[in-house]
Amino acid sequence: MSGTVILFLVLYYVIVLGIGYWALRRGGGEDLEGFLLGGRQVGPIATALTLQSTSMSGYMFLGAGGLGFSQGYWALWYAAGDIGGGLLNLSVIGRRMRKMSQMMASLTSIEYLEKRYPSPAIRLVAGSLTVFLLGFYVLAQLIAGGKGMALVTGIPYPLALAIAVGIILAYTFMGGYLAVAYTDFFQSLVMLVGVMWIVIAALSELGGLTAANTAIRELDPTLLSVWGKGLGFEGQWGVVAGAVLIFSIGYMGWPHVVTRHMAMSRPATARRAGLWATAWSLLFVPAPYLVGILAILILPGLDDPEMAIFQVAGQLLPAAVTGLVMAAIMAAIMSTADSLLLQTGSIASRDIYERFINPDASERQMVWVSRGLVVAVALIGYVVALVEPPTVFSIVIFATSVLGSAFLPAYVCAVWWRKANTAGALASMIVGATIAFAWEYAGLVATTQLHPMFSGVVCSTITMIVVSLATQKLSPVPPHILDAMDVASRVGPIPDRYLAATEFELANEAAAVGRALGEGRDE
């Protein structure tokens, strides 16, 4: 790409780092404290934006565009579910999970599962599965970052990948990210405006959507159908169902996404965040798929479909805008990689090492476990991304199918079904993960015409129900959990008119005061 692109890319980072540096110099320690405390209560806009964008950037900019480019309008099945994913998540489990996790004092979403379904086995299985699968998301971000950097700067892919991995590790270990975090909002704005700009530029280049579709029809009419190129998926409703479900209900089974619910401030936050999430998704989710579809006409000779969005941007946007937008996209990809690595490190050190291997671990030991794991994940990712890079799309779909199948019933039933017990949750996690994994690797999609997500979720849900019902006597749900579920649900002791004013933070104090006053009366 041109010198102007690189100039504006560099300018962008200089501005972002400059703002961070200035904020740190000016505020010093006090500002850091504010930053620390401010995060305790996360408002609706931040909840919505982070819920949507934390784990998706690499997929959105590479996977979604690539799918649109190679399969045409079939890709929109994935977008169809994704638009509602955030809303569904917030409306179904958001408020209840926030309150339950508060009452059970869980710091991580894995710890929350162990407290709801009391057994160390739950934590061990959930923690190991999550660490393993988050590794795949990290890999997707590394590939995305490496490819983007190679394209913009023109340096060879292996070196670009090494630089991307190096920057991400530096963020994670040295706290450079704090500087960039001050500008999170600015960054999402540049990204949103940039993506919309790409869509509009592509449409005006092709003379509007109708003209573009007519041109695609002349090229290959099956690209306009809902069944994929060459009608490859015709009549395969099991695959369609999986494509729609994966990013709609799938969100509810992602430990690294539902953890966001645990930071909301009030019931009203879940409600307003639902509104923001939908507005954001309607604008942002279909856009990359659409750009991918339009790229069929704009870049007929493209060899790597996953580069569709970056290439369209380079071709149609003014060089300065390309630089800024690419910078924002790269920053988003790196920030996603950074938070995935942090979560992986935290689950490995807190949920596995401290819980099972060394309960008296010092802070320093925990840090070294986290760092060791993060370096290992990054190195393995680097080698895989270099030697035989899979498509970002296939990695994300694989990891999401397995995670969703394993955890969806566990998280949903945790707040909605009083009979969901430890045995049911454990069995459902193992069955869901195994089925989704096996489906992908034994090539069962082609023979059964069912998406791994679909078969995985159906099997894990049935397992949860059957095993929970069969083992009610053997492993009953403890009374204190039933109590917490009652409080977390709307019905029961909280009349509707107090719901809005209810402060999640006070749930435990209220329980203790209620007990104390109740006992006092008995005396």
Partner 1 sequence: MFGLPVETALLLFGFPLFWILYLGVFMYVSRNWDRDAAAEDDAS
Partner 2 sequence: MNKVKMLTLIRGEIDARAALYKLEGMTHQIAVVERSVLYPYSRFTARCDVPTMIGRKSMTVNCLVDGINGHAATADDFATDTIDSLNETCLQAAISDEDAKRAARRTVTHRLGKQLRVIAPFNVQLESAGTVYRRFWIVRIGDQRIMTDSVTGGMHPLNATAA
Given the rule CB under 8 A, which residues bind partner 2?
A: 17, 20-21, 24-25, 28-30, 32-33, 35-37, 39-40, 105, 107, 171-179, 181, 338-339, 342, 345-346, 350, 363-364, 366-367, 370-371, 374, 487, 493-495, 497-498, 501-503, 505-518, 520
**What x-and-dash track marks residues 470-509 binding partner 1 by CB under 8 A?**
--------------------------xx-xxx--------
Angle at 80 between CA 54 and CA 429, to 5 degrees: 60
- Output the smallest distance, CB 215 to partner 1, in A: 9
Q: Which residues, 57 to 116, sit near partner 1 by CB under 8 A?
A: 73, 76-77, 79-81, 83-84, 87-88, 91, 95
The mark string for 224-263 relative to partner 1 (x by CB under 8 A, - otherwise) is: xxx-------------------------------------
Task: Show the binding pattern over residues 199-228: x = contacts partner 1 (CB under 8 A), - = does not.
Answer: ----------xxxxxx--x------xxx--
DSSP bridge pairs for 264: 42
Among partner 2, partner 1, none, the one that 503 touches (CB under a kind-dependent 5 to 8 A) is partner 2
In whole angstroms, how close is the CB of 141 to partner 2 at the nearest point?
15
- What are residue 484's DSSP bridge partners? none
Which partner in partner 2, partner 1, none is near 275 (CB below 5 to 8 A by kind)?
Answer: partner 1
Backbone angles phi, psi at 42, to 5 degrees: -105, 125
Closest Cα to residue 281, out of 312, 326, 248? 248
Is residue 266 at the binding interface for partner 1, with CB under 8 A as the rule? Answer: yes
> Is 469:427 a contact under the CB 8 Å cutoff?
no
Query: Which residue shows structure tokens 């409600």?
Result: 271
For partner 1, the closer of residues 139 and 264 by Cβ is 264
Q: Is 462 helix (H, G, I), strand (E, B) or coil?
A: helix
Residues 6+ apart with CB under 8 A from 502: 266, 267, 494
Query: What are the C-alpha distances in Å from 53 to residues 89, 161, 188?
Result: 14, 22, 9
Q: Which is nearer to partner 1, 131 or 415 (CB)?
A: 415
| Closest C-alpha to 267, from 28, 478, 44, 517 | 44
Is 209 or 510 the residue whose CB approaches partner 2 more closely? 510
CB of 378 to partner 2, least distance (A): 12
Query: Which C-beta is closer to partner 1: that of 301 or that of 495?
Result: 495
Q: How far is the CB of 396 from partner 2 (least distance, A)?
A: 22
Closest CA to 164 of 145, 148, 136: 145
Residue 84 binds what, of partner 1, partner 2, none (CB under 5 to 8 Å, by partner type)? partner 1
Instruction: Check residue 45 for interaction with partner 1 (CB under 8 A).
Output: no
Single-letter residue type at 407: F
Best CA proximity match to 344, nearest among 38, 37, 55? 55
Return the residue matching tokens 């401030």.
Answer: 265
**What does residue 30 show for φ and ψ, rounded to 5 degrees?**
-60, -40
The CB-of-106 to partner 1 minimum distance in angstroms stands at: 23
Give yes or no for residue 275 binding partner 1 (CB under 8 A).
yes
Torsion sign, CA atoms 505, 84, 397, 407: positive
Measured between its terminal Cα atoms, the distance across the chain in Å is 80
